[in-house]
């Protein structure tokens, strides 16, 4: 949690340029809107900023030409202080334009965020959504009653038609490049059976904690607020991104939860964050091997 707060502090400094406004900035020349129509671009996976963390602190800005830019932490370095103690954190920032494909270096990111703070897509942390699509359907984020543990495997997205009828419910799962160990999360009722047995959970998958940006053609951008992916989907959760079923899996909520409970029961295991992660990992790797679409 302390690391997350430090990352957020670094992002706030980047977004403000670390300085107070001395006066109004010069107006920029008018920009012709270019998007839509949108090209066949469907997603990016950003680099992990640290060896054991993919939390790249994504911030999204909308440009006047209709493109969207993901500003993110490309790398976090630890630097020893002059007195030899450890350590100060140095953040290296970068950016990725979604539709044009332009890559931004740290200086460009700093200059742009300083001049375009009002163009940041708000996240509205802590507020329930739905996100309304162009046809009147809506996407809601929901949870099956998760504890305070931030693995996000309990979160899912619910799509409703314009008459508010539920069409589908989907989990988004990210397949980690390498296992990550996290301390067992307490207080959590489902982890009570781990007390005295296991101090850390080995995670091979993580849930995506989504934020959605509706686009003008009925598709939408989705990025992971605690991760490193940004993807485009249509209103049926279809995507042409090469990340699909390789790194990111869009799976039916009921099918996944049924599989998890049956696997835990068949193996005579306790249900906790470890057995949950193991079961979800098996489910998505089966999809990966089958080349599911």
In angstroms and rounded to an integer, the radius of gyration of the C-alpha atoms of the chain is 20
Higher pLDDT, 124 or 139: 139
Which whole number is the average pLDDT over 63-80?
94
230 near 71, Cβ under 8 Å? no
pLDDT given for residue 131 in this prediction: 93
In the predicted structure, residue 89 carries a pLDDT above the cut 80: yes
Q: Give the number of residues written for the chain.
A: 293
In the predicted structure, residue 261 carries a pLDDT above the cut 90: yes
Which whole number is the average pLDDT over 108-119?
92
Give 146's pLDDT tier (boundaries 50, 70, 90): low
Which whole number is the average pLDDT over 116-128?
77
Which whole number is the average pLDDT over 7-22?
46
- Cα–Cα distance list, 198 to 47, 209, 268, 279 (Å): 30, 26, 18, 18
- Cα–Cα distance list, 115 to 7, 32, 278 (Å): 21, 19, 45
In the predicted structure, residue 291 carries a pLDDT above the cut 90: no
C-alpha 200/C-alpha 274 separation (Å) is 9
Please give the full DSSP string across 11-36, using - where no structure is assigned.
HHHHHHTTS---SPPPPPPP-----S
Which whole number is the average pLDDT over 129-140?
91
Q: Kindly report, residue by residue over 18-46, the tens digit of the pLDDT.
A: 433 344 455 566 778 999 999 999 999 99
C-alpha 280/C-alpha 17 separation (Å) is 41
pLDDT given for residue 130 in this prediction: 86
pLDDT given for residue 128 in this prediction: 62
pLDDT given for residue 80 in this prediction: 85
In the predicted structure, residue 126 carries a pLDDT above the cut 80: no
Query: 120: buried, middle or exposed (CB in 10 Å: 19+, 13-18, 0-12)?
Result: middle
Q: Indicate the pTM of the whole model.
A: 0.84
Q: Are strands 155-160 and 138-143 parallel, antiparallel or unpaired?
A: antiparallel
Mean pLDDT of the chain: 86
Which whole number is the average pLDDT over 99-121?
93
C-alpha 223/C-alpha 218 separation (Å) is 17
């Amino acid at each position: 949690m302390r690391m997350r707060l430090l990352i957020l502090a670094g992002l706030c400094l980047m977004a403000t340029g670390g300085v107070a406004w001395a006066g109004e900035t010069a107006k920029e020349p008018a920009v012709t809107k270019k998007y839509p129509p949108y090209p066949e671009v469907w997603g990016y996976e950003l680099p992990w900023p640290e060896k054991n963390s993919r939390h790249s602190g994504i911030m999204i800005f909308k440009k006047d030409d209709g493109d969207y830019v993901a500003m993110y932490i490309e790398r976090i370095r630890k630097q020893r202080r002059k007195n030899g103690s450890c350590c100060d954190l140095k953040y290296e920032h970068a950016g990725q334009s979604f539709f044009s494909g332009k890559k931004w270096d740290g200086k460009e990111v700093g200059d742009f965020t300083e001049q375009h703070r009002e163009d940041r897509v708000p996240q509205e942390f802590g507020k329930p959504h739905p996100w309304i699509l162009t046809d009147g359907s809506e996407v809601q984020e929901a949870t099956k009653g998760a504890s305070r543990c931030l693995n996000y495997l309990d979160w899912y997205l619910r799509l409703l038609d314009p008459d508010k009828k539920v069409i589908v419910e989907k989990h988004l799962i990210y397949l980690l490049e390498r296992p990550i160990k996290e301390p067992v999360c307490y207080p959590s009722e489902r982890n009570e059976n781990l007390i005295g047995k296991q101090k850390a959970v080995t995670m091979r998958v993580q849930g995506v904690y989504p934020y959605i940006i509706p686009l003008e053609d009925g598709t939408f951008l989705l990025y992971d607020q605690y991760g490193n992916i940004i993807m485009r989907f249509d209103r049926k959760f279809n995507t042409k991104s090469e990340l699909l079923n390789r790194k990111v899996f869009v799976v039916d909520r009921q099918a996944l939860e049924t599989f998890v409970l049956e696997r835990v029961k068949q193996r005579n295991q306790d249900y906790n964050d470890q057995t949950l992660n193991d079961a979800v990992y098996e489910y998505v790797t089966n999809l990966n091997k089958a080349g599911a679409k």
